[in-house]
Amino acid sequence: MDVTPSIRRFRQVTQRQQRRVEAQGIRMRNLAFTAALLLGAAPAFAAQDCATDLQNLAGRREAALRNINGLVASSHGKKLDPEAFCARSAPLTAAENAMIAYMVKNKDWCQIPDDAIAQLRASHAKSSAFGGKACSVAAQIRTMKSQAAKQQAQAAQNGGGGAPQVQPLPTGPL
Protein backbone atom coordinates (compact mmCIF):
# COMPACT_ATOMS: atom_id res chain seq x y z
CA MET A 1 0.00 0.00 0.00
CA ASP A 2 2.87 2.28 0.45
CA VAL A 3 3.59 2.11 -3.24
CA THR A 4 0.18 3.17 -4.39
CA PRO A 5 0.06 6.56 -2.61
CA SER A 6 3.55 7.41 -3.82
CA ILE A 7 2.62 6.40 -7.36
CA ARG A 8 -0.53 8.49 -7.16
CA ARG A 9 1.49 11.40 -5.90
CA PHE A 10 4.01 10.92 -8.68
CA ARG A 11 1.23 10.81 -11.27
CA GLN A 12 -0.37 13.97 -9.88
CA VAL A 13 2.92 15.84 -9.99
CA THR A 14 3.62 14.61 -13.50
CA GLN A 15 0.15 15.56 -14.66
CA ARG A 16 0.59 19.05 -13.22
CA GLN A 17 3.93 19.38 -14.96
CA GLN A 18 2.41 18.19 -18.23
CA ARG A 19 -0.40 20.77 -17.91
CA ARG A 20 2.17 23.48 -17.24
CA VAL A 21 4.21 22.41 -20.23
CA GLU A 22 1.08 22.29 -22.40
CA ALA A 23 0.03 25.73 -21.15
CA GLN A 24 3.50 27.06 -21.88
CA GLY A 25 3.36 25.48 -25.32
CA ILE A 26 0.01 27.14 -25.98
CA ARG A 27 1.36 30.47 -24.74
CA MET A 28 4.44 30.07 -26.93
CA ARG A 29 2.29 29.22 -29.96
CA ASN A 30 0.11 32.27 -29.27
CA LEU A 31 3.18 34.43 -28.86
CA ALA A 32 4.70 33.07 -32.06
CA PHE A 33 1.43 33.64 -33.92
CA THR A 34 1.18 37.20 -32.60
CA ALA A 35 4.80 37.90 -33.51
CA ALA A 36 4.25 36.51 -36.98
CA LEU A 37 1.21 38.73 -37.43
CA LEU A 38 3.07 41.80 -36.25
CA LEU A 39 6.15 41.10 -38.32
CA GLY A 40 4.08 40.28 -41.34
CA ALA A 41 2.05 43.46 -40.91
CA ALA A 42 5.06 45.68 -40.14
CA PRO A 43 5.96 46.26 -43.80
CA ALA A 44 2.35 47.17 -44.51
CA PHE A 45 2.30 49.64 -41.61
CA ALA A 46 5.70 50.99 -42.68
CA ALA A 47 4.59 51.38 -46.27
CA GLN A 48 1.45 53.18 -45.19
CA ASP A 49 3.32 55.52 -42.81
CA CYS A 50 6.09 56.15 -45.32
CA ALA A 51 3.65 56.80 -48.14
CA THR A 52 1.75 59.33 -46.02
CA ASP A 53 4.90 61.10 -44.89
CA LEU A 54 6.45 61.18 -48.34
CA GLN A 55 3.19 62.37 -49.85
CA ASN A 56 3.09 65.29 -47.38
CA LEU A 57 6.72 66.19 -48.08
CA ALA A 58 6.22 65.91 -51.84
CA GLY A 59 3.12 68.12 -51.54
CA ARG A 60 5.20 70.86 -49.90
CA ARG A 61 7.80 70.55 -52.65
CA GLU A 62 5.16 70.64 -55.41
CA ALA A 63 3.52 73.74 -53.88
CA ALA A 64 6.89 75.53 -53.87
CA LEU A 65 7.50 74.48 -57.50
CA ARG A 66 4.03 75.73 -58.53
CA ASN A 67 4.80 79.06 -56.85
CA ILE A 68 8.06 79.39 -58.81
CA ASN A 69 6.42 78.28 -62.06
CA GLY A 70 3.73 80.92 -61.52
CA LEU A 71 6.42 83.60 -61.23
CA VAL A 72 8.09 82.37 -64.42
CA ALA A 73 4.77 82.28 -66.30
CA SER A 74 3.88 85.80 -65.13
CA SER A 75 7.13 87.22 -66.49
CA HIS A 76 5.93 86.51 -70.09
CA GLY A 77 9.44 85.97 -71.45
CA LYS A 78 10.91 89.03 -69.71
CA LYS A 79 13.79 88.87 -67.29
CA LEU A 80 12.88 87.50 -63.89
CA ASP A 81 13.16 89.69 -60.82
CA PRO A 82 16.01 88.09 -58.82
CA GLU A 83 14.62 89.28 -55.48
CA ALA A 84 11.23 87.71 -56.14
CA PHE A 85 12.82 84.49 -57.37
CA CYS A 86 15.14 84.38 -54.35
CA ALA A 87 12.18 84.75 -51.99
CA ARG A 88 10.23 82.02 -53.78
CA SER A 89 13.15 79.59 -54.02
CA ALA A 90 13.71 79.44 -50.24
CA PRO A 91 10.59 77.28 -49.56
CA LEU A 92 11.63 74.88 -52.32
CA THR A 93 15.08 74.48 -50.80
CA ALA A 94 13.59 73.87 -47.35
CA ALA A 95 11.07 71.34 -48.69
CA GLU A 96 13.75 69.43 -50.61
CA ASN A 97 16.07 69.42 -47.58
CA ALA A 98 13.29 67.98 -45.42
CA MET A 99 12.42 65.36 -48.03
CA ILE A 100 16.05 64.26 -48.48
CA ALA A 101 16.58 64.07 -44.71
CA TYR A 102 13.44 61.92 -44.30
CA MET A 103 14.40 59.62 -47.16
CA VAL A 104 17.94 59.10 -45.86
CA LYS A 105 16.78 58.56 -42.27
CA ASN A 106 14.03 56.08 -43.22
CA LYS A 107 15.70 54.47 -46.23
CA ASP A 108 15.66 50.94 -44.83
CA TRP A 109 12.32 51.13 -43.02
CA CYS A 110 10.51 52.60 -46.04
CA GLN A 111 12.52 50.57 -48.57
CA ILE A 112 13.52 53.66 -50.56
CA PRO A 113 15.89 52.86 -53.43
CA ASP A 114 19.25 54.61 -53.58
CA ASP A 115 18.43 55.87 -57.08
CA ALA A 116 15.44 57.86 -55.83
CA ILE A 117 17.56 59.59 -53.19
CA ALA A 118 20.33 60.28 -55.72
CA GLN A 119 17.87 61.78 -58.21
CA LEU A 120 16.33 64.04 -55.57
CA ARG A 121 19.79 65.14 -54.43
CA ALA A 122 20.76 66.00 -58.02
CA SER A 123 17.54 67.97 -58.52
CA HIS A 124 18.09 69.71 -55.20
CA ALA A 125 21.65 70.67 -56.13
CA LYS A 126 20.43 72.30 -59.36
CA SER A 127 17.55 74.18 -57.75
CA SER A 128 19.73 75.30 -54.82
CA ALA A 129 22.45 76.53 -57.17
CA PHE A 130 19.94 78.46 -59.28
CA GLY A 131 18.27 79.93 -56.20
CA GLY A 132 21.67 80.82 -54.73
CA LYS A 133 22.65 82.66 -57.92
CA ALA A 134 19.38 84.58 -57.89
CA CYS A 135 19.90 85.55 -54.25
CA SER A 136 23.48 86.72 -54.89
CA VAL A 137 22.33 88.81 -57.88
CA ALA A 138 19.52 90.26 -55.74
CA ALA A 139 22.07 91.17 -53.04
CA GLN A 140 24.30 92.87 -55.64
CA ILE A 141 21.32 94.85 -56.95
CA ARG A 142 20.42 95.98 -53.42
CA THR A 143 24.04 97.02 -52.81
CA MET A 144 24.18 98.97 -56.07
CA LYS A 145 20.86 100.69 -55.32
CA SER A 146 22.03 101.71 -51.84
CA GLN A 147 25.32 103.06 -53.26
CA ALA A 148 23.44 105.06 -55.91
CA ALA A 149 21.12 106.46 -53.23
CA LYS A 150 24.13 107.51 -51.12
CA GLN A 151 25.75 109.22 -54.12
CA GLN A 152 22.54 111.11 -54.90
CA ALA A 153 22.23 112.19 -51.25
CA GLN A 154 25.83 113.46 -51.26
CA ALA A 155 25.27 115.32 -54.48
CA ALA A 156 22.12 116.94 -53.07
CA GLN A 157 24.05 118.02 -49.95
CA ASN A 158 26.72 119.67 -52.10
CA GLY A 159 24.04 121.81 -53.71
CA GLY A 160 24.49 120.37 -57.12
CA GLY A 161 21.04 118.88 -57.15
CA GLY A 162 22.49 116.02 -59.06
CA ALA A 163 23.74 118.14 -61.98
CA PRO A 164 27.46 118.12 -62.73
CA GLN A 165 29.34 121.13 -61.41
CA VAL A 166 30.56 123.63 -63.99
CA GLN A 167 34.25 124.47 -63.95
CA PRO A 168 34.94 128.18 -63.84
CA LEU A 169 36.59 129.73 -66.87
CA PRO A 170 40.14 130.95 -66.44
CA THR A 171 40.49 134.66 -65.92
CA GLY A 172 43.37 136.93 -66.69
CA PRO A 173 45.70 137.30 -69.62
CA LEU A 174 45.90 134.50 -71.98
Q: Over the stretch 35-59, which tens digit does the pLDDT of each residue have?
A: 444 444 444 445 568 889 989 999 9
pLDDT score at 19: 65
From first to last of the 174 residues of the chain, give the pLDDT tens digit: 455 666 666 666 566 666 665 656 565 554 445 544 444 444 444 556 888 998 999 999 999 999 988 888 888 878 888 898 899 999 999 999 999 999 999 988 888 889 989 999 999 999 899 889 989 998 998 999 999 888 888 877 776 555 566 777 777 776
SS3 49: helix
Residue 109 has, within 13 A of its CA and on its CB side, a CA count of 14
SS3 40: helix
C-alpha to C-alpha distance for 118 and 121, rounded to whole angstroms: 5
pLDDT score at 60: 93
With vertex at residue 28, the alpha carbon angle to CA 22 and CA 30, rounded to the nearest 5 degrees, is 105
pLDDT score at 41: 41
